[in-house]
Amino acid sequence: MRLRTCAVVLLLLGGGMGLRGETPEPPATPAAAVEPVPAPVSLTREELDSAARIDSLTIPSPGELMAALAKEARPNWQGQYRQPIPTTFASRAQIAMNIGGLIADGYIALEAADSQQVKNIGKDIITLAKSLAVSENVIARGNSIFEFAENNEWTALKEELEATQNEVKLALEEQRDGDLVWLVTLGGWVRGTEVVSGWIAGNYTPQAAKLLRQPAVVDLIRSRIRRLPERMQSDPLLKEVLEKIDEIERLVSFPEGATPTQEQVKELRDLTGQLVARIAEK
């Protein structure tokens, strides 16, 4: 504790943090002259209300949640695999959600450092992307995934997986099918949350359970899905998805400082698990 206090004092003297009004000295950078940074101010009500909320920045990647869990514990990622899902679906909305789910599966395989599984998932992503006719650039990304997996380049693979997901979304937007973009996001987020809550439910610690706090994520996904065209929202699957999302929101929207109980984490695991299974149902 004493050392920790000393370290804080020394760092404040030598390193500086953004809150200080003085001239902080940032980390050593041999190449760059680092300039002083003024103390930040509180955001205004207007800034809070008008803050941008963007799919590819505001929604964390499944890899971020898994990285956070990996700091709390050593999950058995291979134990979180699921049976291969069908790769033919009649509805484009369902295909989009399953592509998102497969991207999350890819992150699980990466955490397990399982190159064969990464390749299997990459193949399924391409197959599904073909059925949305957005495969041209995705195939190129898929080839990179195979190559990186072959060489066990895990960091590059993580970035490539997200790039593949964005390539699918970009292609959807170019095809004027931008409505489906948020369904890809939804599929990935639900599958990632299922896996992480599943592991925490079976290996409960309060600290790990607190990771599941993501109120703004659910709120944003749900609000975007509610903007989908009426025709799409009348799809029975999407109706079920929206109902489940409302229930899931209750479990990930606990107050700052609160800790979900093990029972609540199990409920979240079950709800997200049911949703993932329903999305993959032919």
Partner 1 sequence: MKPLLLLAGMLCLPGAINAAGEPAAPAPAPAESPSPAVSPSPTATPESGETTDASVAARASALEVAGAFSNDGFKTRDGHWIGPIRAKKPKVVQVNLYAGNQYWFIVAASDGAKKLAVSIHDEKGEPVEFHPYRDQGRAAAGFSPEISGPYYVRIEEEEGTPAVFCLLYSYK
Question: Does the protein bind partner 1 through residue 203 (CB under 8 A)?
Answer: no
Question: Does the protein bind partner 1 through residue 6 (CB under 8 A)?
Answer: yes
Question: Does the protein bind partner 1 through residue 62 (CB under 8 A)?
Answer: no
- CA terminus-to-terminus distance, the chain: 57
Q: How many whole angstroms separate alpha carbon 112 and alpha carbon 79?
A: 9
Place of tokens 């592509």: 99
Question: Does the protein bind partner 1 through residue 63 (CB under 8 A)?
Answer: yes
Q: Which two tokens stand for residue 85?
A: 């899902």
In degrees rounded to 5, what are phi and psi of residue 57?
-120, -40
Question: Does the protein bind partner 1 through residue 14 (CB under 8 A)?
Answer: yes
Question: Does the protein bind partner 1 through residue 60 (CB under 8 A)?
Answer: yes
Give, in order, the Cα–Cα distances in Å from 21 to each of 14, 49, 101: 14, 27, 45
Among the listed residues 160, 179, 194, 267, the single contact to partner 1 using CB under 8 A: 160
Among the listed residues 57, 90, 229, 230, the single contact to partner 1 using CB under 8 A: 57
Least distance (Å) between residue 281 CB and partner 1: 28
* DSSP element (H, E) containing 212: none
Least distance (Å) between residue 23 CB and partner 1: 10
Among the listed residues 114, 159, 240, 247, the single contact to partner 1 using CB under 8 A: 159
Which is closer to partner 1, CB of 105 or CB of 160?
160
Give, in order, the Cα–Cα distances in Å from 165 to each of 25, 207, 208, 223, 264: 38, 30, 27, 21, 31
Ramachandran assignment for 266, one of left (phi > 0), alpha (psi -120 to 50 degrees), beta (any other)? alpha
Footprint of partner 1 on residues 206-225 (CB under 8 A)?
A: 210-217
Q: Dihedral through CA 113, CA 116, CA 117, CA 118, nearest 10?
A: 70
Question: Does the protein bind partner 1 through residue 249 (CB under 8 A)?
Answer: no
**What DSSP designation does 38 have?**
P
Question: Does the protein bind partner 1 through residue 90 (CB under 8 A)?
Answer: no
Which is closer to partner 1, CB of 63 or CB of 75?
63
Among the listed residues 115, 135, 144, 264, the single contact to partner 1 using CB under 8 A: 144
Among the listed residues 21, 74, 88, 155, the single contact to partner 1 using CB under 8 A: 155
Question: Does the protein bind partner 1 through residue 259 (CB under 8 A)?
Answer: no
Among the listed residues 21, 44, 74, 231, the single contact to partner 1 using CB under 8 A: 44
What is the total residue count of the chain?
282
Footprint of partner 1 on residues 260-279 (CB under 8 A)?
A: none
